[in-house]
Amino acid sequence: MANIIEVFPGDEVAGEEEYLASDGTFANEGKVYASQIGILELDDDECVARVISPNPPNILKTGDIVYAVVADVRNTMATADVVAKEGTRRGIGGETYATIHVSKISQGYTDDVSKEMRKGDYIRARVTGTHPSLQLTTKDDRLGVIRSLCGTCKTELVRKGKGLYCTKCERSFPRKLADDYGDVKI
């Protein structure tokens, strides 16, 4: 590829007799047009025209480490909204609603999700699947709750043993904590 040509959606980039439409392009009446902003790539080996976006949307994939806020806790699972992916400041494209099954929460046996996380907790988790919906696990020392506020007084809970403690209410709460709870900057 000799020249770097930036194109905009709707720009004519090639004729179909030479190149077929591929990623980031579409064909109409014998001509190929860009469907997104990006760099035009005319591939002479495959005979396709592509437009490569400089900032592809951050679609989550299996194995990604993410930060999420617990949205709801039910008997056998928690739901969470993914807010960031570790290692990037770019936003998340695509699905951010995720589920965590009770069996994927803790290395130990647990039958009650509410003993491991609560609504509003910030968690660090790993993506274990993306179809048909986003699935997460916190089954690792590094994974689990990283920040939590007391449900009664909204004071930030501090680590105490394997769980959390509210210094104001003087109550303890069980949690599946990440090993660096209280020491994380998001």
Shortest CB 106 distance to Zn ion, Å? 24
Count, residues near Zn ion per rule CB under 5 A: 7
| Contact predicate 96/113, CB 8 Å | no
Q: Is residue 166 at the binding interface for Zn ion, with CB under 5 A as the rule?
A: yes
| Alpha carbon distance, N-terminus to C-terminus of the chain | 40
Window of 65-73, 85-93, 101-109, 161-169 that interacts with Zn ion by CB under 5 A: 161-169
Shortest CB 171 distance to Zn ion, Å? 7
Q: Where are the beta strands (DSSP E) in 94-175?
A: 97-101, 122-129, 134-137, 144-147, 158-160, 163-166, 171-173
Q: Is residue 157 at the binding interface for Zn ion, with CB under 5 A as the rule?
A: no
Q: Is residue 169 at the binding interface for Zn ion, with CB under 5 A as the rule?
A: yes
Bond prior to 132 in cis (omega within 30° of 0): yes
Nearer to Zn ion by Cβ, of 47 and 169: the residue is 169
Shortest CB 154 distance to Zn ion, Å? 7
For Zn ion, the nearest residue by Cβ is: 150
DSSP-derived pairing of the beta strands 122-129 and 134-137: antiparallel
Q: By rule CB under 5 A, what string of x and - marks binding of each residue 115-154 to Zn ion? A: -----------------------------------x-xx-
Residue 114 DSSP SS3: helix
Shortest CB 147 distance to Zn ion, Å? 15
SS3 content of the chain, % helix, strand, coil (to 5): 5, 45, 50
In whole angstroms, give the CA distance from residue 64 to residue 73. Answer: 22
In whole angstroms, give the CA distance from residue 23 to residue 40. Answer: 10
The tokens for 103 are 């069996």
Nearer to Zn ion by Cβ, of 142 and 168: the residue is 168
> Among residues 86, 168, 184, 186, which is the contact residue for Zn ion, using CB under 5 A?
168
Window of 41-49, 66-74, 89-97, 168-176 that interacts with Zn ion by CB under 5 A: 168-176
Interacting residues with Zn ion (CB under 5 A): 150, 152-153, 155, 166, 168-169
